[in-house]
Homo-oligomer: A and B are copies of this chain.
Amino acid sequence: MVKYQNDPLSTTFQALADPTRRAILARLALGEASVGELAEPYAMSLPAVSKHLKVLEGAGLLARERDGRVHRCHLEPQAMRAAADWIAEYRRFWEAQLDQLARYLEHSPTPLSRIKENSDEPGEPET
Protein backbone atom coordinates (compact mmCIF):
# COMPACT_ATOMS: atom_id res chain seq x y z
CA MET A 1 0.00 0.00 0.00
CA VAL A 2 2.90 2.33 0.61
CA LYS A 3 5.01 3.60 -2.26
CA TYR A 4 8.68 2.65 -2.40
CA GLN A 5 11.50 3.97 -4.53
CA ASN A 6 13.20 1.90 -7.15
CA ASP A 7 14.20 4.42 -9.78
CA PRO A 8 17.87 4.23 -10.75
CA LEU A 9 18.92 7.59 -9.37
CA SER A 10 17.32 6.94 -5.99
CA THR A 11 19.01 3.55 -5.91
CA THR A 12 22.38 5.12 -6.63
CA PHE A 13 22.08 7.84 -3.99
CA GLN A 14 20.79 5.26 -1.53
CA ALA A 15 23.86 3.14 -2.22
CA LEU A 16 26.12 6.13 -1.60
CA ALA A 17 24.36 6.93 1.68
CA ASP A 18 26.47 4.53 3.72
CA PRO A 19 30.07 5.16 4.85
CA THR A 20 31.10 1.52 4.49
CA ARG A 21 29.90 1.45 0.90
CA ARG A 22 31.59 4.75 0.12
CA ALA A 23 34.80 3.41 1.63
CA ILE A 24 34.50 0.29 -0.51
CA LEU A 25 34.14 2.45 -3.60
CA ALA A 26 37.15 4.50 -2.52
CA ARG A 27 39.11 1.29 -2.13
CA LEU A 28 38.03 0.11 -5.56
CA ALA A 29 39.08 3.39 -7.15
CA LEU A 30 42.62 2.20 -6.31
CA GLY A 31 42.10 -1.03 -8.23
CA GLU A 32 39.99 -4.17 -8.29
CA ALA A 33 39.74 -6.42 -5.25
CA SER A 34 38.14 -9.65 -4.09
CA VAL A 35 35.26 -9.79 -1.63
CA GLY A 36 37.58 -10.99 1.12
CA GLU A 37 40.03 -8.20 0.48
CA LEU A 38 37.24 -5.66 0.55
CA ALA A 39 35.87 -7.07 3.80
CA GLU A 40 39.20 -7.24 5.61
CA PRO A 41 39.32 -3.62 6.95
CA TYR A 42 35.90 -3.84 8.60
CA ALA A 43 34.75 -5.15 11.94
CA MET A 44 31.55 -6.48 10.44
CA SER A 45 30.93 -10.01 9.21
CA LEU A 46 31.56 -11.21 5.68
CA PRO A 47 27.85 -11.61 4.90
CA ALA A 48 27.35 -7.97 5.89
CA VAL A 49 30.00 -6.87 3.40
CA SER A 50 28.52 -9.23 0.85
CA LYS A 51 25.22 -7.41 1.25
CA HIS A 52 26.90 -4.04 0.82
CA LEU A 53 28.47 -5.28 -2.38
CA LYS A 54 25.13 -6.44 -3.63
CA VAL A 55 23.67 -3.01 -2.94
CA LEU A 56 26.51 -1.36 -4.87
CA GLU A 57 26.07 -3.87 -7.66
CA GLY A 58 22.32 -3.29 -7.74
CA ALA A 59 23.00 0.43 -8.05
CA GLY A 60 25.30 -0.28 -10.98
CA LEU A 61 28.27 1.21 -9.15
CA LEU A 62 30.19 -2.06 -8.97
CA ALA A 63 30.58 -5.11 -11.15
CA ARG A 64 32.40 -8.36 -10.65
CA GLU A 65 34.09 -11.02 -12.67
CA ARG A 66 34.16 -14.44 -11.17
CA ASP A 67 37.52 -16.06 -11.40
CA GLY A 68 37.26 -19.51 -9.88
CA ARG A 69 35.98 -19.11 -6.36
CA VAL A 70 37.12 -15.51 -6.03
CA HIS A 71 34.93 -12.66 -7.20
CA ARG A 72 37.02 -9.74 -8.46
CA CYS A 73 35.14 -6.49 -7.97
CA HIS A 74 35.70 -3.28 -9.85
CA LEU A 75 34.01 0.10 -10.16
CA GLU A 76 31.36 0.62 -12.79
CA PRO A 77 31.48 4.29 -13.71
CA GLN A 78 28.18 4.97 -15.42
CA ALA A 79 25.84 5.09 -12.42
CA MET A 80 28.17 7.46 -10.59
CA ARG A 81 28.08 9.74 -13.59
CA ALA A 82 24.28 9.83 -13.51
CA ALA A 83 24.43 10.96 -9.89
CA ALA A 84 27.11 13.52 -10.66
CA ASP A 85 25.04 14.82 -13.57
CA TRP A 86 22.01 15.27 -11.37
CA ILE A 87 23.96 17.24 -8.80
CA ALA A 88 25.69 19.25 -11.52
CA GLU A 89 22.35 20.69 -12.58
CA TYR A 90 22.39 22.63 -9.33
CA ARG A 91 26.01 23.64 -9.58
CA ARG A 92 25.43 27.05 -11.11
CA PHE A 93 22.75 27.78 -8.57
CA TRP A 94 24.69 26.90 -5.50
CA GLU A 95 27.92 28.36 -6.74
CA ALA A 96 26.12 31.68 -7.13
CA GLN A 97 24.80 31.27 -3.58
CA LEU A 98 28.26 30.50 -2.24
CA ASP A 99 29.67 33.53 -4.03
CA GLN A 100 27.08 35.65 -2.28
CA LEU A 101 28.08 34.10 1.02
CA ALA A 102 31.73 34.79 0.37
CA ARG A 103 31.00 38.41 -0.49
CA TYR A 104 28.87 38.77 2.59
CA LEU A 105 31.64 37.40 4.77
CA GLU A 106 34.15 39.78 3.25
CA HIS A 107 32.10 42.95 3.64
CA SER A 108 30.31 42.16 6.88
CA PRO A 109 31.41 43.94 10.09
CA THR A 110 30.31 40.95 12.25
CA PRO A 111 31.43 38.08 10.09
CA LEU A 112 30.78 34.64 11.48
CA SER A 113 28.22 34.58 14.24
CA ARG A 114 25.04 35.17 12.23
CA ILE A 115 26.03 32.72 9.49
CA LYS A 116 26.97 29.97 11.93
CA GLU A 117 23.62 29.92 13.70
CA ASN A 118 21.66 30.06 10.46
CA SER A 119 23.28 27.22 8.51
CA ASP A 120 22.57 23.69 9.73
CA GLU A 121 25.71 21.60 9.75
CA PRO A 122 27.82 22.64 6.76
CA GLY A 123 29.21 19.10 6.46
CA GLU A 124 32.72 18.51 5.24
CA PRO A 125 33.93 15.70 2.94
CA GLU A 126 35.05 12.39 4.22
CA THR A 127 36.60 9.05 3.16
| A67 CB within 8 Å of chain B | no
Chain A: number of interface residues, binned into ranges = 35 or more
Contact check, B80 vs A29: say whether CB atoms are below 8 A apart.
no
Contact check, B76 vs A119: say whether CB atoms are below 8 A apart.
yes
Contact check, B60 vs A77: say whether CB atoms are below 8 A apart.
no
Q: Which residue of the partner chain B has the closest CB to A57?
A: B120
Q: State which of A10-18, A33-41, A106-114 sits at the interface with chain B.
A: A10-18
Contact check, B10 vs A13: say whether CB atoms are below 8 A apart.
no
Known: A80-B94, A81-B98. A123 touches B17 (CB 8 A): no
Q: Within residues 99 to 124 of chain A, which ones have a CB less than 8 A from any CB in chain B?
A: 101, 118-124
Contact check, B84 vs A123: say whether CB atoms are below 8 A apart.
no
Give the one of A78, A82, A88 with max B CB within 10 A: A78
| A97 CB within 8 Å of chain B | yes
